[in-house]
Amino acid sequence: AQKVTQAQTEISVVEKEDVTLDCVYETRDTTYYLFWYKQPPSGELVFLIRRNSFDEQNEISGRYSWNFQKSTSSFNFTITASQVVDSAVYFCALSEASGAGSYQLTFGKGTKLSVIP
Amino acid sequence: GAGVSQSPSNKVTEKGKDVELRCDPISGHTALYWYRQSLGQGLEFLIYFQGNSAPDKSGLPSDRFSAERTGGSVSTLTIQRTQQEDSAVYLCASSPRLASGELFFGEGSRLTVL
């Protein structure tokens, strides 16, 4: 069975601080995909990134970066120089590459990030 | 609009009543998903459709829940004899293809069962 754990329920940072959101996953598959989604106060989840299990290269997109480490089953998300607009709930998710598990994302419970001006 | 549209956005009902939640996916998206979001519980997968077919209904919480999709487009999630524990936000998402993982979500239907 697949499982995603986001141990941080809520985080508050002051604007311009860097913040890292942790994600730890469990899966028996060797091929899988990892995701991050953002849910701003408006409520609509927005896709941020998808990584496959064979690509451990870190990825950077503007102020966002992702660190994927298979050795620790982690897929952490860092926001550099945080802004108030980054305030949202962030979800990490996992799907398997084949079988029934490939048709659904298993989400963590989310981390609520509050960026204080 | 071009996004996933869900209705109603808010629904308050009495225990024991039936409710229908509607989802209009992005045009051309073949895959459609229903999730339930409860406070502190994250997102719970309910069911997915590939076209009009729902191969796996095991995610539905009970036999009071059913879903259908017609014309490869609009989907309806029906909850019969609602219970208070059904109170949640029901999210619909669509995707250009099954198993891509890149889901486009609607704003959800908030259901409150009194």
pLDDT digits (tens, 9 = 90+) for B4-57: 999 999 999 999 999 999 999 999 898 999 999 987 678 999 999 988 999 888
Q: What sign does the CA torsion over B25, B69, A109, A73 have? A: negative
For range A28-56, the mean pLDDT: 90
Cβ–Cβ of B101/A35 closer than 8 Å?
yes
Residue B33: per-residue pLDDT:
93
Residue A101: per-residue pLDDT:
58
Interface membership of B29 toward A (CB under 8 Å): no
Q: What phi and psi, each to the nearest 5 degrees, are found at residue A34? A: -120, 145
Residue count of chain A: 117
Residues of chain B contacting A91 with CB distance shorter than 8 Å: 42-43
Cβ–Cβ of A104/B42 closer than 8 Å?
no
Is a pLDDT exceeding 80 seen at residue B99?
A: no
Cβ–Cβ of A44/B98 closer than 8 Å?
no
A101 Cβ neighbours under 8 A, 6+ residues apart: A2, A29, A95
Residue A99: per-residue pLDDT:
65
Is a pLDDT exceeding 80 seen at residue A98?
A: no
Band of pLDDT at residue A88, cut at 50, 70 and 90? very high
Helix (H, G, I), strand (E, B) or coil at A101: helix
Interface membership of B39 toward A (CB under 8 Å): no
Mutant choice from B49, B102, B109 vs A, greatest count of A C-beta within 10 A: B102
B94 Cβ neighbours under 8 A, 6+ residues apart: B4, B23, B25, B26, B29, B31, B32, B33, B103, B104
Residue tagged 């198993």 (tokens): B99
How far is B74 from B19, CA to CA, in rounded Å?
16
The answer to whether the CB of B34 falls within 8 A of the CB of B49 is: no
Cβ–Cβ of B42/A110 closer than 8 Å?
yes
B78 Cβ neighbours under 8 A, 6+ residues apart: B18, B19, B20, B21, B65, B66, B67, B68
Residue tagged 């239907």 (tokens): B109
Structure tokens, A110 = 């989310």
Residue A100: per-residue pLDDT:
59
Q: What residue of A is the nearest CA neighbor of B105?
A: A45
Q: Pick the more confident residue, A61 or A11.
A: A11
Cβ–Cβ of A104/B89 closer than 8 Å?
no
Residue A1: per-residue pLDDT:
74
